[in-house]
Structures are given as structure tokens and as C-alpha cells.
Structure 1
Amino acid sequence: MSVEKSATKRRLGAIMFTDLVGYTSMSSRDESSALELLGELKGVLGSVFSSHEGRIVKTLGDGFLVEFGSAVEAVDCAVEVQRKMGSFNEGRERDEGVRVRIGIHVGDIVHSDGDVLGDAVNIASRVEPLAEPGGICITRQVVDQIAGKVKWQITPMGERTLRSLPGPMEVFKVLAQPAERAGRPGGILDPHRVAILPFSNLSPDPNDRYFADGMTEELISTVSKISGLNVISRASAMKYRDTTLPMDQVGRELRVGAILEGSVRKAGNKVRIAAQLLEVDMDRYVWSQSYDRDLTDILDVQEEIAKQVAEGLKLKLLNKDVQVLEKRSTSNAEAYTLYLKGRFYWGERTLEGTQKAVKYFEEAVRLDPKFASAYSGLADCYLIFADYGWMAPAAAGDRARDYALKALELDDSLAEAHASLGLMLVNHSWDFATGERELRKALELNPNYGQAFHWYGTTLMFQGRNEEALKLIEKAMELDPFSVILAQSRGVCLFRLGKLEEAFEQFSEVKKESPGLPSIDFWLSLVLSKQSRFVEAIEASKHEIAANGNEPGAKLDLAFIYTLAGNGDEAKRILDEVMALKDVYVSPTSLGIALLGLGKDDEAFGFLEKAATEHDSNLLYFRSLPPYEAFRKGARWQELERKIGLSSGPAVSSRT
């Protein structure tokens, strides 16, 4: 090996250039004082560089060339430098103060005999003069590296032509204050975090809105499978249907770097789809396209749009991405249209809507018996029937399992089917190990599937693994930031961890955003009861009954709260009223909880055993109720927990 090669090493690095503004004129006025100040300043900055793992390569008169192992360290260091400079200048006269310009670039560098060479060094030196005195200027390459990893406000400065470089470069300004204080939510915008907003329905028939919404949902599903992209989920994107807000404001509310929007016009078997991709930071469209196709070609259009999104965001598609995008779930246009209708009504989360969805999915699989996604849709419908109490859990769970297995038999790469099967195994078969495995498989197939993160989190929560659960639920919230269901689940997790104030704050926010959300009043009443605020707890529980149309489960929740407040007579009156109902499904868990509050432990345990036999998923939440900790320590409950696989950890913390 030659001496030259042994002294040279190439790698990726972050390079910072600094320059003292006005030092030359200061030196010409009083060289001795200027040199003294420079020495003092070098000591201050040197300690800041080293605290961020920065290596001073060399000094350049009154400036530094510093190398960092990561762009994050370089930017955080630059912010601290400017803050130190503010402290350094305190008490000095204006003409005695000094300010620093900082430029940062990341790229290939070459280590040669202690020096650092390469394009990254040259570009950083050209970027530094673009910074304002006391400012920080960075390149697009740095922005891409630090996206989602720093809290400082980043402002685009546009494209600039730099000396000795072939073309213009995008440059940005870093402000040494958190983005929230600057009035811009969420910090730096990740260029690879994408929102697909609801496509406008321009069809002559307003009833064709299902098609536009279905296209939106399918595009979200398709684009989310591209490696390297984070895609906001459907629920949060749908909040911006027909929005009049500026797109850059939408982008900042969703904390996305790119927005895909468009329109759909369906007339008979002809479809026109227009789509355009906006880069939020630069407030510019980087791609737009219109497609005039037959309905039979709709899946081809989705593939083309997904590929164009990747290209517009400068992402190289991997072979596996291409294979996924080119895969067709059905070649039957009519079946696909029915599937879109099913997903539209399933998204309503109402009894009538879910019943309609079942009919459309059933018709879709009749037309195409190998349509795996439609079977997955049926599985999702029956999970809703079970979890919302619209059907006996055991029967609904069996149907959900059969449809999910059928979907996976046809297409084992379907993330949605793996997730549905996982939830069914947890909620209705008490098979936590296999359910976890299916949910992990769903996330492996689609890392942007927020629903799977949520279901995986609740699975861990049921087992008492609350800290792990909280992380997964918060990950789901990153993908679906406006979901009140996720926010409620986060509150439940906080409650189980004994963080009552945080849980109350979370539930209160959900209540404000969605006052009619099923069970939000129950969780609020539970926290209030734990805080001995029984009057407020009872009011919240009464509101639950009003919001849910006198549903038996809501009435039993109020009976439970009355027992906590010491009003057994009122609790018994409600319990007798509910137990007298005929031909109405009532959760045996809810009956058992109310009976426990009245001190009827034997009768209560009979209902809890029935809940286990019927696979009533409400039983999994029984472990969240602190008043019954003593009962749960008893031999009967411990044995029941072992039978249903729930004996792996503490259910809820008693810490307040």
C-alpha cells in the first residue's frame, strides 16, 4: 500500500465553517484588543464544538473549519454557538460585540494527513457567507439528514448560485429557537413525510363521492408501501376534505414535507384523475399530471401516481417496492368499484354503514372470489360488530377470523389482513402470542400502517406492558395525528400507568374535540372517581348515556360509578333495569363490574366467567379498574387470568 493511500480516507461527514463578522475592521482599529478577544472567543467556541463531538480541523484566521459525525450534531452545535455568542456579547458596546456566520453542508469528505478535503468542504465554505450575521445557513442535504430529529425552526431561503458549482443549490436558514415558539408547529418538516388529502369529487353524480374517497384511501395504502416514506393515515387526512386553508398551513399542521392532492371525475366507465404534489417548505408544486382512463385501468393509474410521488420526492424505488406497486388485487373493475363502496361505508363506523359495507364486500367477492382485499374488508366489518357490541363477540370473532384467513390464503402479503387476524386473536381468542406475531408481520409489510401500531399497543396494554404500549400508540399518533381514538387510547395507557393528571388532560382534549366519542365519558368519569370528584364523575357518566342513546353498556357504566360514589341504591336500580331487558345484547363484563360494586362477588364472577367464555373483549379492560385490585388478587380471578393468558404483568399502577 502506498504512503499516499494510507494517509487518505473517504467518508460521509458534516462540515461547518464559521466566520467572525466585523473582526477585520475591529483589528484595524485596535489590533491588540482584537487578538485578545479572538483568543477568548476561541476558548468559548472550542468547548462548544467538543461538547457536540465536533473536531476542529483547522482555524482560518478568525474562523473555524469543524468536522462532525452527523448533521444533527452540527446543527445543534451551531445553535448553541449562536446562543453562547449572545451571552458573550452581553454588556459590550454595540461596536465591541462580535457576531458569527455559520454554514453547514453534509457530503463526502476525504481525510488526508490531518486535513479534510472534498466537495462537502468547498460547498460549506460557499454557504457560510449566505448566513446573516449571527445566523446559520444549511443546504438541502443537511435538511434531509436532520428531518424529524431537531426542534429548531427551519426557513427556506430559495435556490442560490454558488461560486465554482455547476448549478443552483437550495439553502435554508436555522433559527436558534424551537419551532413552537416561532409559531410554526412541529419543527422541521420531513421531506419524506407525506399527506394524501381527500381527492375532490367532480363527478356529475354526487353519489359517486365514494369513488373519490376510495381512490384517496387506496392511494394512501399504495404510497405507504414505498420504502423510506411516512404517510399520514386516512382519518387525519380526511379532516381536510374541501379545505380552504393554504396548503403550506395544512402541511405544517400535519407536520409533512409533501402533500398529494387531486380530483376525480367519473362518468360511466370513464375516469379522469388529476393529481399534483406540493413541496410544503418551498410552497411549490414539483409534479402534476392528469389521467383519462377507462375504469378497468384504475389500478394502473394508482401505480403510476405512486411512482411519480417517489420520483418527485427524489426517492429511488427498490425492487420490492416496484413488485408491490405492480401487484393487482383484482382485474374485475366492477368488483373493485364495489370494494371502494365497502371501504367508504366501513369508514363511517356506524351500524348502518358497516352493514352496507358487508353487502358491498360480499358482492365484490361474489364477482371475484380471489379478491383478497375484499375478504379483508369483511374481516374488518365483523371486528367492528364485535367491538362496538352490535353482535355477540364469539360469533362476530369467528366470522372475522374466517375472512382474515381467507384473505391471507389468497395473498399472504396483505398487511391489513394480518392486522385484522392479529386483533381477532387477541380480542376474541385470547391468543396473545400469535396475535402479536400477526401484528408485527403487518408492520413489517407496511411500516406506515397506523392501525396496526394502535392494535399492537393495546395488545401490550392488555398484558400490563404499559410503557411499551404507550410508545406504540404514540407512534400510531405520528401517522394519524388527529385521531381521537388514538388520543383516547393514549389516555387509557396513561391511566393504567397511574399518571392521573396527564390522563385527565388527554381525555379532556378528546372530549373537547369529539364529545360523542363512545366511551370517552366513561374514561373521564373513571379518572374523576379516582380523584374523588364523584359529582363530576356522575355527570360525565350521564352524558355517556345521552350520547349513546340509552345503550345498556353506558347505563351499567353509570351504575359502576354510583358504586364508587357510595350510592348503591341508585346503582342497583339501574342494574335491575338493564337485567330486565330482553333480546338485547348486554356485555357480561359490564354486568359483572356493576355487581362487584354492589358487593355481590359470587354473582359477579359468574358473569366474568361468561365473558371469558364468550370472548367479550370488554373483559380485557377490567384490569384497568383500580377499585377491584383486591378481587383480582383472589384465587378465582387469578385462575381465570391464566386461562385467558393475562397473567404476564401488572395491569394498572396504583401510583397517583
Structure 2
Amino acid sequence: MRVAARTSSFQFKGREIDVADVGRRLHVDAILEGSVRRSGNRLRITAQLVSTRDGYQLWSEAYDREVKDVFAVQEDIARAIISALQVKLGARRSAALRSRPTNDLAAYDVYLKGRFAWNQRTSTGMQEAVRHLEQAVARDSGFALAWAALADAYVLAIPYAGAPREVDWPKARAAAAKALALDSTVGEAHTALAYGTMIYDWNWVAAESSFRRAIRVDPAYPTGHQWYADFLWSQGRLDEALEQMQQAQRLDPLSLVIATELGQTYYLMHRFDKAEEQLRGTVLVYAQQHRYRQAIDVMRRSLDLGGFLEDLAGGLAYTYAASGDRASATRYTAELTRRLASGRVGPFALALAYTGQGNLTRGFAYLDSAIAVRDIFLPEDFFDPQLDALRADPRFDAIEEKMHVGRKRK
């Protein structure tokens, strides 16, 4: 039985829906809908299972319980659905139904808030995620899923919220280790550890080992496949990356992050028409198709909405130069140089900027610096087509040796 991920399912929350359309978009045969009303310490929960093929109700029930019984109600609903769908569970999945992630409902509440904030992928959202998840583990130190989510939050607080790598990456490792000490089958913890090991430690062997372990213990976790695909980008194993990203999208078909990274995968493969089809004409494709004005407009809008991201900023300087706007390229590159001097940007952004201007010597110099400091944006972007001019230069062989990766492989 395949269950669509929470992030995809919640796209329909609070909306008038056509069940057939939901089934088509999520690739499911049935949907569970319902409502929860709270009065004091009492809950009124209604739920119904509806076929997406014909709209007929397969099962329905109402529950009047105390708040403290919410996990028991979850188990009752899950078992009723299994019965209605005539699904047989193995011993492990049956045990999972009986398990409770925590006995502290307040901890569970802030855990859900933390996961929601983390999924926003914004500076403010990542800071909120850290705050909520720290509260969750403070309330229940035995809450393995909350420790794993906190590891995720620490890992992404560095690129999204500007948290210091030397502080938050050790915190992330410790949180993941705590989650795994409590429950070694928490795929989220293995995934967070693997991703951080890739972008912060640049330990490719250890990272891949952790990714494979994560997928083995929880093959239904979309981010496990998505981030493993990101790792495969870094190694130039792009056909494998495409398989993993497509699996992530099958598990979470409406995730904007995964949809975007699927398009990014096609872009890295130089399949620009397919990338544009996936991304609906976004910045990376525009630049490679020489539609520079559109690319610049989208990049500037993205930076305004999402905050400063180093690789995107470097790409903007690159695109200014490629479009022939040397003055803007020079001005923006100078701004990136000031940011580098104050520690607010890494060398990789300058490598992109100078490559776009045709100054390959300075491009190589900043790429060398990016390797020396383990710039966190370089692993995922190492096979970016914006670096093709450097890749065609004989000096790039030394860069590949320093990165311990070979030529792009399918």
C-alpha cells in the first residue's frame, strides 16, 4: 500500500475538492477526509474513506474521545482503513501502528509545527523550525522523530538562515545520533546525517553509505530519495539521480521542492527542453537558452522573495555578463566580493560570476578557494552547465582530482 506524503496531501486542506482530481494528482485509489473539533479536553473526530474512482464511501466513523486518546484514535482509524481496503500488513508495519511517537501531546503539537515550518524552505521558516523542534525535545527527550526533525532543521538553517556551520552542523550530528540511539529505524535521521556529511564534510563514501541505509530502513520517505539524488548530482551520476528524484516525486507528487529539483536534474543533464517542461520556464533554463532578460527578471524576483542564496546570486552575475550587460555584471560581482570579505558569501558565487564574464583564470581561482573552504554550494552545483567553460579547459582536471570525482557519468 502506498500512502501519499503529508506535504502533497495537505495541498488540498480547507479546499473544495473533486475526489477524482485528487486521485489523479496524487496517484491514489482512495482518500481519507474528515474534521477535528475540540471542546476543552474532548475531541470530536469524523473520518471517511472515499474511492477516487467512483466517489463512493468505503468507510466512515465518528469518535468522541478525550485529547489524551488522540494516538489511540489514529490507530483505530488506520486499522479501519486497512480493513476497508483489505490490505495485509507485515509484523513490522503492524507494530508501527501500535507505537506512539511520544506520550506528550504538547511535544507532538510543536513537532508538527516545526515540520511545517521546515517545509517552507525560507529563512524565517527555518528559524521557526529550530525553535519549535527544540521545544519538542525539551518536553520529551525520548521523542526520536523530533530529534530527527531537529537534525534536519539544523542542517538547513545554515544555508537558509545563515546559521554558523561550525555550530549548527555539530548540533545536527548530535541530534541525529540521539534520534538513532532511540530508534535506529528512523529514516529521517539517517537522511539528515547523510546530507550534512555530503555538503559540510565532503565525505562522499560516508554520505552514500548513510543514504543507502536511510532508504533501506524507510523506502517511503520522499526526502531520502530526493537528497540521495542531490548526492548523485555531486558525483555526476545523473541517470541514477533522475531515478531517485522520480521516485521522490512518486512518493510526494505535489512537493514544490521535489518538482523543482526534478527539473534541476534535467538541467544538469543538459536536457533543457525537458527541464523547461518540468519547471515551466524558470531561471536556469532561460539562461541556457540565451533568454537572458527573462532569466535576470526571475533571478532578481527569486532573491527578493526567498532571501539571499549564494549560488543564485552567483548565477545572476553570470547571467548579466552572458547577456552583454558588463556594467551590471561588474557591479554585482563587486557586491559579491564585499560579501565574501565579510563572510556573508562563499567563493563559489564568485567562481560563477567570473566564469560568466569569460575570466576563466579568476573563475578557477575562486573554484580552488571554494574547494579549500568546502563551500557548501559546490557539491550539488559541481556539474552545473554554467561551469561548462571551465570544464572544457585543461585546468579543470586538477579541480576534479581535488573534488575526488570523475568526469560526468550517466
What TM-score, normalized to structure 2? 0.89
Q: Give 2:338's match in structure 1, choosing from 580, 600, 607.
A: 580
Q: How far does residue 236 in structure 1 lie from its aligned partner after superposition? A: 1.8
Q: Within 2, Cα distance between the matches of 1:303 and 1:256?
A: 21
Secondary structure of 2:345's match? coil
* Counterpart for residue 626 of structure 1: 385
Q: Within 2, Cα distance between the matches of 1:333 and 1:538?
A: 47
Q: Is the 8 A contact 2:126 2:161 kept in 1?
A: no
Q: Within 2, Cα distance between the matches of 1:614 and 1:493?
A: 26
Indicate whether 1:562 and 2:320 are aligned: yes
* Residue type of the alignment partner of 2:34: G
Equivalent runs, 1:233-632 vs 2, <5 Å? 233-388=5-160, 390-508=162-280, 520-521=282-283, 523-529=284-290, 533-548=291-306, 554-581=312-339, 585-601=344-360, 603-626=362-385, 628-629=387-388, 631-632=390-391
Q: Within 1, Cα distance between the matches of 2:309 and 2:224?
A: 29
Q: Is the 8 A contact 2:313 2:349 kept in 1?
A: no
Q: Is the 8 A contact 1:270 1:293 kept in 2?
A: yes
Q: Is the 8 A contact 1:461 1:469 kept in 2?
A: yes
* Residue type of the alignment partner of 2:285: L
List alignment gaps of at least 5 residues for structure 2.
none
Q: Relative to structure 1, is the Cα distance of residues 558 and 254 closer, same or farther in structure 2, using a 3 angstrom cutoff? A: same
Q: How far does residue 412 in structure 1 lie from its aligned partner after superposition? A: 0.5
The alignment of Structure 1 onto Structure 2 pairs a total of residues equal to 409
1:239-296 residue CA offsets vs partner (Å, 9 max, x unmatched)? 2111212323322332310111111223443333222211222422222222333333
- CA RMSD across the alignment: 2.7
Secondary structure of 2:121's match? coil
Q: How far does residue 603 in structure 1 lie from its aligned partner after superposition? A: 4.5
Larger helix percent: 2
Q: Relative to structure 1, is the Cα distance of residues 287 and 586 closer, same or farther in structure 2, using a 3 angstrom cutoff? A: same
Q: How far does residue 415 in structure 1 lie from its aligned partner after superposition? A: 1.4
Percent identity reads 32
Q: Is the 8 A contact 2:194 2:206 kept in 1?
A: yes
What TM-score, normalized to structure 1? 0.57
Q: Within 2, Cα distance between the matches of 1:487 and 1:569?
A: 35
Q: Within 2, Cα distance between the matches of 1:437 and 1:262?
A: 41
Larger strand percent: 1
Q: Within 1, Cα distance between the matches of 2:161 and 2:106?
A: 32
Q: Relative to structure 1, is the Cα distance of residues 238 and 613 closer, same or farther in structure 2, using a 3 angstrom cutoff? A: farther
Q: Relative to structure 1, is the Cα distance of residues 490 and 552 closer, same or farther in structure 2, using a 3 angstrom cutoff? A: closer
Q: Relative to structure 1, is the Cα distance of residues 497 and 555 closer, same or farther in structure 2, using a 3 angstrom cutoff? A: closer
List alignment gaps of at least 5 residues for structure 1.
1-228, 512-519
Q: Within 2, Cα distance between the matches of 1:298 and 1:499?
A: 48
